[in-house]
Copies of this chain bind each other. A is one copy, B any other.
Amino acid sequence: MTSLRVAVLGATGYTGGEALRLLAGHPAAEVTVVGAGRTAGGRVGDTHPHLVPFADRRFESLPVEAVAERAEAALLALPHEESAGTAPALVEAGVRVVDLSGAFRLEASAYPPWYGFEHPDPTWLGKAVYGLPEVMGEQIAGADLVANPGCYPTAVLLALGPLLSAGLLEPEGMVVDAKSGISGAGRVPAETTQYAASEGSIRPYQAGVHRHTPEIEAGLSAAAGAPVTVTFVPHVVPTTRGILATCYARTRAAADTLAAALAEAHDPHPFVRALPAGELPDPKRVAGSNLAEVGVAVDGHSGTAVVAGAVDNLVKGAAGQAIQNLNLMFGLPETAGLDHPPVYP
């Protein structure tokens, strides 16, 4: 069997490095381009010392045509606005793309307010498939451009989506309180992500104005079959990896009913573990893996369901999900390269 030839563009950051890590163990894919901009020419091992299999490879900055000669598929871990231009160019050159930025996840009108730029070619927004395999599985298989979901939306949609679809939650007035590890802020140094500033800190940020809000609302609206508005507040907590999204919604259903609905919906999904009623997830139990945990408890005295989802933000929340999408696009087993258990403790 010939390997699928994959280009990873924007490979210097944490997400790009994670894609390389996972592809290093992929049985049916090989990395043919390790792309970077400013770091082009540098040794991969200098940037990612843990990636021994790639240590002596070089970052390259290639034109689209050169990528197309070397790869059937590309994972893009580029800035949003750069992706908006690069992804269509690659597709037109014959490369099927999983884009990890936010550039193809929303409607055109959402880009100016939430991302601060006018989308350069909105027709591509219609062609791109939203790459949450547990929801969009079949459409991903045929896609040339997959918009890999954001880390927070992945955790939220896997947890709330099935319950909204089943009509078990009131879609009004939902709250999503999310907690993320610090690697979600990326690799570029900043004062707030310094160790000394982060240890001991529990820091809410962009309350109500985080750009994952419209993505969450679009996914939940699709699940509910009606427009859904949520209050979304992310927090940074002192850990490297992991997201926990704790979601609150009014319900008349019992925890057993809700847990059964989660279990049934996710039964076919190899990467989602639905917990028994009353048990809530912990991202520590999925660290380093493409697994997600979802669970639900009900606060009977307030009539509120507490529905939570946990992922490793760099794997199921980013690079792992991208490879899962790649597998689906190219007819490979969905779990290829992603079937190792989490690392614990």
Contacts and interface: CB of A to CB of B under 8 A. Distances in A.
B199 A240 contact: yes
A345 B207 contact: no
A291 to B, nearest CB: 7
A204 B5 CA distance: 39
Interface stretch (A50-58, A157-165, A325-333): A50-58
Given A21-B343, A340-B340, A306 B208 contact: yes
A310 B202 contact: yes
Interface string A214-258: 000000000000000111110101111111101010100000000
Interface string A279-323: 010111111110100000111111010101010000000000000
Given A177-B177, A345-B240, A199 B195 contact: yes
B233 A200 contact: no
A299 B237 CA distance: 22
Contact of A239 (B200, B207, B241, B297): B200
Nearest to A343: B288
A202 to B, nearest CB: 4
Contacts of A340: 21, 24-25, 340
Given A25-B341, A344-B48, A202 B283 contact: yes
Nearest to A203: B282
Contact of A194 (B21, B187, B285): B187
Q: Which among A182, A195, A238 has the greatest number of chain B C-beta atoms within 10 A?
A: A195
A212 interface: no
Total copies of this chain within the assembly? 4
A1 interface: no
A59 interface: no
Interface of A: 14, 17, 21, 24-25, 48-53, 173, 175, 177, 179, 181-183, 187, 189-191, 193-205, 207-209, 229-233, 235, 237-244, 246, 248, 250, 273, 280, 282-289, 291, 297-302, 304, 306, 308, 310, 339-345
27 contacts: A50-B286, A175-B175, A175-B177, A179-B235, A183-B196, A189-B189, A189-B193, A189-B194, A193-B196, A195-B240, A199-B199, A200-B240, A200-B283, A202-B237, A202-B244, A202-B310, A204-B306, A208-B298, A208-B302, A208-B304, A231-B248, A231-B304, A231-B306, A233-B306, A235-B246, A237-B239, A248-B248
Q: Rank and list the top 3 A-B pairs by shortest CB-CB distance, nearest first.
A: A208-B299, A189-B189, A201-B284
